[in-house]
Structure 1
Amino acid sequence: MKIGILGGTFNPFHKGHINIVRNIKKEFGLKQIWIIPTYITVDKSFSIENISAKDRYKIIKYTLKKLKINWIKLIDIEIKNHNISYTYDTLLKLNTKYPEKQFYFIMGEDRYRTFHTWYRYKDIQNLANIIVYRRFINGSCHNKNIDEKYIEFFDEIIYDISSTDILQNLRWDELLEPTKKYISKKYFYLKTIVFNNLKFKRYQHSVSVASHAKRLAKENKYYNWKRAYYAGLIHDLFKYHSKNFLIEYVKKNLKANEELPPFPAMHGYACSYWLEEMYKMKDKKFLKAIKKHTTASKKMSKLDKIIYVADKIASDRKGREIGQERKQAYKNLDFTFEKLLRKQVERLVENGIKFENLDKNTKEAYIHYVLKIKGKKALKNYYYNTKNNHENQWKSLKKNNK
């Protein structure tokens, strides 16, 4: 029986892996493809986020089960090794256990270019046929350091997607739907995404917000500190996207009951929409906390307040007053939230934005949480009494809330 073997970190597993083995299986008449995730790869490390071998294995297993691909077999031989995996050792074990099978080891041209540096590479050629597939348009698949007499090349289709490219450029459309769903439940790859897509200072800010969100959740008895931590971590993901992109992306994804937010708040909306649409995040509370972390809103959950406050008291924000607000936040989240919201509105008005022209969510939050005007009747009277008198309205608001 002819068996294809595809090894790697699969960090994450993606459409390219399926397409590669499907086409190679057909081209070389292979009966099955065995996917072998590594425990530790010799030339790779996970400095930002370590998705364990066990978790990577579970992601692939879940994906293959949902896709009902019965000709792909998942093998845990290297994961069980709990050490650095050498291809020679793996193939030797497989040949010993399955002497009746003919193995074909599959690798991309980028790996093949350094094949002559692999541990006992000449012996690998005696244990399995080598199939090399094309990864790049330019350049050669060949390696002058290898005797290519028994190397087989598959260069009809170019596979230019990689797990690294997916994480660096948010190419989440290259992930399979079951993979996305599994990943989103565990918050996997959010750390890597944030690191790869933000400038370092903004990344440091995001890590700080996440840390404060976690502590705020614990100190204020919020039951799910992980949710708070990861919402704080990812909240600024779209901070450096262009103004035109943000406007178009937010417009395209606005919900039926939503108004276009002011530009400084659009990155939160964009992040929330991307997480829901592409990352497949189903947690509505998580999505709302990110969306409203800049504007606030009339109805703020404890998580909403945690992310709003954590963003304002992050460690990269300096000053004596900020230090006091940090201490207050850990003791009394609601009080600190209302104080920070009042300061935000006052600052916006002092910078020339009339109160009536503020974002609807911010204005309603201020009225509800700072002025403590609640109920439809009270709100109706408030608007009636201040109609066409915005200047006096703001002076009165500021006076009564010092």
Structure 2
Amino acid sequence: MTPADLSRTVLHAVHRAVAENALRAPMPARVRVERTRPGGSGDYACAVALQLAGDAGLPALEVARILRERVAAEPGIGRVEITGPGFLSFTLDAPGDSDRAVLDAVREQGSAYGHGGALRDEALRFHHAREVRAAVTADAVRRLVVSQGARVRISCGEAGEMGAAGEAEWGLLGVTVDAYGTPPVTSPAGPSAPLIPVRPVPAGATARELLERLGPDATRWGLLRPASHDRAPLGDELLVQGEANPLFLVRYAYARTRALTRGAAALGFTAASDAAPAPYESPARPLLDLLADHPRVLLAAAHHRAPDRVARQLEAIAHAFFDFHDSCPPLPSGDEKPSAAHRSRLALAEAAGTVLAGGLSLLGISAPAHL
């Protein structure tokens, strides 16, 4: 990564922070990075947090923290530190280290890869009508913001589906509600957090109808995959066992990664992310970039209360996985012996499977190991 690349990376982090309402400040035209002076920390440093602090109405150290969260996972960045009154200091990865760091992070964090603490200071209250799409969307939003550290309560209005049967069906969809009716805006302890309405376009069907026809996983995917302002297509195409069905594609990609692990075990080898000096061929690049970007996607989805962003991310990962798998098979064929390249390819395939399973879990959808 060159100084110009690093400057663009930091500027992009500022753009994201502003777009996600984490930072309210005018966009700088450019960000200046300089070689760290003798005795300083890291390879490069910049003072963008001090530059933005006044307009943002925040201490420079807080601005630096917001930007550090958005820069640290970028490919090529080994470490980001905050020094002095709010300087950002960057230590760059050696070539190839960033890819291994992504795979190591996925392996260490498992299905929690991409979870973080950006919303740890927030206590949120969501409110929705008693309608199945609103309930499922609120549940998925809860999962997303909790994954980023927020505390959440969900209340539900009294109109629409009623009765114990309706409650049981919502339970089959993984939906829980903390309170019914519109909660008060104040409590004995003082004013409560404002209510945040969850108002997707209604499904046009009840939970019972959808469960009987589609089952819980296809129902949730069908309700969550479109943006909340779009109508949710809930036809039988959600049950098609073919790659034209995005839900099947995502779950099939996950199942295929598990089959690769089983196949490798039968051949007597396991994954290794550092098995070769240059382990990842060019067909792997899109998949690696998507895995590296996954934490930012989850944070943006939480900020915007948009589980559809997670669904689209999983679709992109599934497509990239199959492109990689077909170009660079993780398992040897014929009389070929397992090599370092096979071990590194398997590591990438397993990381993709872990991220797919974690993303499906955030949407409340199961990830079967066999399809």
TM range (shorter): under 0.3
Between structures 1 and 2, the one with greater helix share: 1
Higher strand share: 2
* Structure number, greater radius of gyration: 1
- With the length of structure 1 as denominator, give the TM-score of the two structures: 0.24
Question: TM-score normalised to the size of structure 2?
Answer: 0.25
